[in-house]
Amino acid sequence: MPEKQDYLANVDPMSFMGLLSMRKEKIDAGETKPLPGTYTVNEKAKTLHPKEQYLIISKVTQHGSDAKSFELIPNTAEGTKGCAYFRAGQYISVLLDIDRAKVSRPYSIRSGQKDALNGKYILTIKGTENGYASKYILENWKAGMEVETSGPEGNFYYEPLRDAKHVVGIAGGSGITPFYSIACAIADGIEDCNLTLLYGSRTKDNILLKEEFDRLEANCSKIKVIHVLCDELDNECEIGFITAGLIKKYAPADDYSIFLCGPQAMYDFVDKEIETLGLPIRRIRHELFGEYKNPEKEADYPKDAVGKKYKLTVTVRGDKQAITCASSDTLLVAMERAGITAPSRCRSGECGYCHSRLVSGRVYIPKFVDGRRMADFKFGYVHPCCTFPLGDVEIDVPAK
């Protein structure tokens, strides 16, 4: 072994002590200007990725009998100076107080990115059967009302490093809204790709944003929209459902990506059709379809839990509360109905914003919406937005 060296033996103590005076001289010669309270990079980050945005409804537009568009502008009195920029296809989560229930719902930003730079978002919201939040919004939101939202979230956007140059979009119902934003980005030259959109509706009267898409399509050769009707014959539209054959009819002969956004029933049908096309997995993108409902229809769901009610014990920062949760409701829905403010964003098991520790109890999580990471499994965390009780359950929820 090499001989151990005593390096301190070669240090002159007097020279070393002289460093103190030299250091003091440097400090005394420095600027006395106080450090800034904030830094430009941090302010830019807050502008692009705000935790919350305070907005005002400036205009409401009716679409048919069951849909409305809401223009939102910054509420400067509450400190929001502009609308955060976003990727076309992303969503914002809207915070609602419905009969003392604290509720959040994600809605795709329908407007283009240029609108955000000019201080405006547009949300187009369509009523759904038994829609708790959408019914409230359509009946209560008026011009002049104040609205709190999250910053832009989600991964449903065109990414040239991942996606093909040609996108085949498949939409159903209000799933058309992110595609309108993507189409705007293409027309404005922000995204460099082609969009062929297959939009399924029941009848021609049910088509949402038809005139708006017609104008975009007329002014941009990269955008093509094909309407598919399942309950009505029309010479200008395809008839039936969006099948693999229909996708092949309009898709390019070479490489393409498929983007899907619509109700869960559409995914159940179209996903099986897409499997027959033999596309690589990286070429298929799904937007979150929102809150998962009716877990009892899954083959692996315990049938003895159907129709039951259980005790849900919730702890938020040491404050413990016991509430009731039906087996058909997610833990998040039960908390919201009890007036407990719980964090949530996507409500589809993907973003992880609501993840909470499962202290005790058995739960059911549908496999195809289980977005937990390995660490969540290891340390016992769940996403309450897609977790259903199979007995009495206790969870520890982070404060919003």
Kindly state the average pLDDT of the residues 194-210: 95
pLDDT value for 1: 56
Residue of 334, 372, 337, 338 whose CA lies nearest to 352 = 372
Helix extents (H) in the chain: 13-29, 40-48, 113-117, 132-140, 177-187, 210-219, 244-250, 264-275, 331-337, 374-379
Kindly state the average pLDDT of the residues 116-123: 97
Bridge-based pairing of strands 194-201 and 223-229 is parallel
Residue 105 CA to residue 43 CA, distance in Å, equals: 27
* Stated pTM of the model: 0.85
Q: Which residue type occupies 365?
A: I
Compute the mean pLDDT over every residue in the chain, rounded to the nearest whole number: 92
Measured CA distances, 138 to 60, 73, 123, 132, 212 (Å): 10, 18, 12, 10, 21
Tell me the CATH class for 301-397: alpha beta
At 223, list the tokens.
């955008």
For residue 5, what is the DSSP state?
P
- What CATH number belongs to 44-149? 2.40.30.10
At 248, the pLDDT band (50, 70, 90 cuts) reads very high
What is the percent of the chain where pLDDT is above 70?
98
Q: Which residues of 3-27 are buried (b: 16+ CB within 10 A; e: fewer)?
A: eeeeeeeeeeeeeeeeeeeeeeeee
Measured CA distances, 392 to 91, 142, 308, 336, 372 (Å): 34, 41, 11, 18, 22
Q: Is the pLDDT confidence value at 96 over 70?
A: yes
pLDDT value for 3: 66
pLDDT value for 374: 93
- 248 contact partners, CB below 8 Å, separation of at least 6: 277
Domain 166-286 belongs in CATH node 3.40.50.300: no
Domain residue ranges in the chain: 44-149, 166-286, 301-397
Residues 160-181: tens digit of each pLDDT: 999 999 999 999 999 999 999 9
In the Cβ-directed half-sphere of 135, how many Cα atoms lie within 13 Å? Answer: 6
At 69, list the tokens.
């568009």
Residue carrying structure tokens 């297959």: 198
